[in-house]
Amino acid sequence: DPPNLHMENTASVSRLNCRAKGGAAGFRVAVLGAAGGIGQPLAMLMKMNPLVSVLHLYDVVNTPGVTSDISHMDTGAVVRGFLGQQQLEEALTGVDLAIIPAGVPRKPGMTRDDLFNINAGIVRTLSEAIAKCCPNAIVNVISNPVNSTVPIAAEVFKKAGTFDPKKLLGVTMLDVVRANTFVAEVLGLDPRDVNVPVVGGHAGVTILPLLSQVKPPCSFTPKEVDYLTDRIQNGGTEVVEAKAGAGSATLSMAYAAVKFADACLRGLRGDASVVECAFVTELPFFASKVRLGRIGVEEIYPLGPLNEYERAGLEKAKKELESSIQKGVSFVRK
């Protein structure tokens, strides 16, 4: 039998199980790739989220340590660790939300597409297990290239007969988080008061900040628009270069992933007006502003009025997106 990694000492195990089952308003969340650079802080922040009653941490390495460590935090969620493929199905059984930060990150000089060969297979394997064990769960895909890994997950779910476009979301929240930060800097505002819609996809020119729709309403000089667009599109590369070979964004990504997961859980709980940007599978695949609810994506908002600069950006984005989507689809179909 695989080792028991549930990290619950025998004396407390039955009470924890009771708590996990009884957990009145809590959701069950699985993090796949939980021992990684993103996975660890993401797991920690999810353990702090009051909407989570059970937190499953899965990875192919090091989950015992991460699970033991995080399980000592005196917050509500019960934490369980799962190590290696033979425990994947157990990790996914009964979960309401599966978050996927598994896969290799970029090094300087790499594009997100350079990660395709390794991460495509990882996302396919994890999606197959989701289709089998928790076909109704909301799925948040973080693994890059998101523009291709979300189509991969969609194809796997279609093959399995479990595809629900309302439940599969690519996480583009970090682009929004960066956009809010950089725009706030330019405007001299608190980033918490700024909201920048970012649509399209999650790589280079497919990242399309809609600076004409920033809240609070404001205007930018053409120079500011160029600076902000470039910085938002290349924010990830900025971090990759600063880390100089030690990986890509992990801490800000974990923050963004939890901000997004929390929105999904608030939607599931039935909160009204939960609106965020995410890479969704309709139209056919495109990051848009969406309303999250009890069944996942309940509404996809139209792009709204774009200015000429944004319309040109959209054309560029569409072209690159199309080939990234096709690459993901053919990976599963071939």
What are the strands, taking DSSP E only, across the chain? 27-32, 52-59, 78-83, 97-100, 138-141, 168-170, 198-200, 207-209, 274-280, 286-293, 296-300
Q: What are phi and psi of 134, to 5 degrees?
A: -145, 60
143 is a site residue for ligand NAI (CB under 6 A): yes
Asked if 173 contacts 143 with a C-beta cutoff of 8 angstroms, the reply is no
Is 56 among the residues known to form the active site?
A: no
Among 125, 162, 181, 234, binds ligand NAI (CB under 6 A): 125
Residue nearest to ligand NAI (CB): 36
Nearest distance in Å: CB 309, ligand NAI: 24
Evaluated on CA atoms 253, 255, 256, 260, the torsion sign reads: positive
124 is a site residue for ligand NAI (CB under 6 A): no
53 is a site residue for ligand NAI (CB under 6 A): no
Which residue matches tokens 């996975």? Answer: 39
Asked if 239 contacts 220 with a C-beta cutoff of 8 angstroms, the reply is no
Among 8, 30, 33, 328, binds ligand NAI (CB under 6 A): 33
Q: Is the CB of 8 or the CB of 59 nearer to ligand NAI? A: 59
Nearest distance in Å: CB 52, ligand NAI: 20
| Residue 32, both tokens | 């796949």
The contact pattern for ligand NAI, residues 91-110, with x = CB under 6 A and - = no contact, is ----------xxxxxx----
Q: Is the CB of 101 or the CB of 267 nearer to ligand NAI? A: 101
Q: Which residues pair with 114 in a beta bridge?
A: none
The Cα 235–Cα 204 span in angstroms is 9
292 is a site residue for ligand NAI (CB under 6 A): no
146 is a site residue for ligand NAI (CB under 6 A): yes
Report how many residues bind ligand NAI under the rule CB under 6 A.
Answer: 33
Q: What are phi and psi of 104, to 5 degrees?
A: -80, 145
Q: Is the CB of 23 or the CB of 191 nearer to ligand NAI? A: 191
CA–CA distances in Å: residue 243 to residues 40, 108, 132, 228, 231: 18, 8, 38, 22, 17
Binders in 185-214 for ligand NAI, by CB under 6 A: 202
Nearest distance in Å: CB 32, ligand NAI: 5
291 closest CA partner among 301, 279, 303, 282: 301
Nearest distance in Å: CB 221, ligand NAI: 28
Residue 304 CB: number of other CB atoms within 10 A?
A: 12
The contact pattern for ligand NAI, residues 238-277, with x = CB under 6 A and - = no contact, is ---------xxxx--x------------------------
What residues are labeled active site?
A: 202
Interface residues toward ligand NAI, by CB under 6 A: 32-33, 35-39, 59-61, 101-106, 115, 119, 122, 125-126, 142-144, 146, 171, 174, 202, 247-250, 253
